[in-house]
Amino acid sequence: MGLRLRPNKKAENAREAFVELYEYYLPKVFRYISYQVGDVHLAEDLTSAVFEKALTRLDSYRSNKASFSTWLLSIARNAVIDHYRVRSRKVTISIEEAFEVVSEEISPEGKVIRRDELQRLETYLRELPQQEREIISFKFGAELTNRQIAKILHLSESNVGTKLYRAICKLRDKFKEG
């Protein structure tokens, strides 16, 4: 199905092309959702659902209407919104758990510090207004440009920049206080 994204690829390479795209976009989608839901297992479930939906709806993707990343992240955003619409339960498992499996190169002491910081970040993110949290998620999670974020959130680019700066300052102040 990756063939549809890259019309120049030959059919026999469709599988490989799909794998390349998956490797490229998975961390971005996963991180965006992790910031939004603050629960690594839930983030994994929603990420799976996003990629499955993207795979089945790939035929409806039009490259002249939106970039692939904007299209994919819009599906991710809707998945998060739908999740909160259906289940407004409090999350129980934090994003810091994800760290355990990816940080072999950091010392045990460093791991403890990082885990603490992740836990605090998760708490402070929840205290941000929804839109600011979403901008942080798009920027640091999905690595989108302000222009791409502006397009998804229907804001002006400068507005995104200002809100991003404001959200960073709020988080920084909370970290200082904490």
State how far the Cα of 170 lies from the Cα of 157, in Å rounded to an integer: 20
Question: Is position 91 an interface residue for another protein (rule: CB under 8 A)?
Answer: no
Stretch that binds another protein, among 60-68, 73-81, 84-92, 126-134 (CB under 8 A): 60-68
Pair 7, 62: CB distance under 8 Å: no
Instruction: Choose among 70, 33, 36: nearest CA to 54.
Output: 70
**Can you tell me whether residue 64 is helix, strand or coil?**
coil
Binds another protein (CB under 8 A): choice among 74, 75, 99, 155: 99
DSSP state of 122: H
Q: Shortest approach of another protein to residue 55 CB, angstroms? A: 6
| Choice between 52 and 82, CB closer to another protein | 52
CA 73 centroid distance within chain = 8
Binds another protein (CB under 8 A): choice among 42, 136, 138, 152: 136
Q: Shortest approach of another protein to residue 77 CB, angstroms? A: 17
Residue partners of 77: CB distance under 8 A and separation at least 6: 32, 134, 152
Binds another protein (CB under 8 A): choice among 87, 93, 172, 178: 172
Residue partners of 176: CB distance under 8 A and separation at least 6: none
DSSP state of 93: S
**Token pair of 147 as six digits:** 């222009």
Binds another protein (CB under 8 A): choice among 37, 39, 40, 80: 40
Q: What is the binding site for another protein (CB under 8 A)?
A: 1-2, 5-9, 13-22, 24, 26-27, 30-31, 34, 40, 44, 47-48, 51-52, 55-56, 63-70, 95, 98-99, 101-102, 104, 114, 117-118, 121, 136, 139-141, 143, 145-148, 151, 158, 160-162, 164-165, 168-169, 171-172, 175
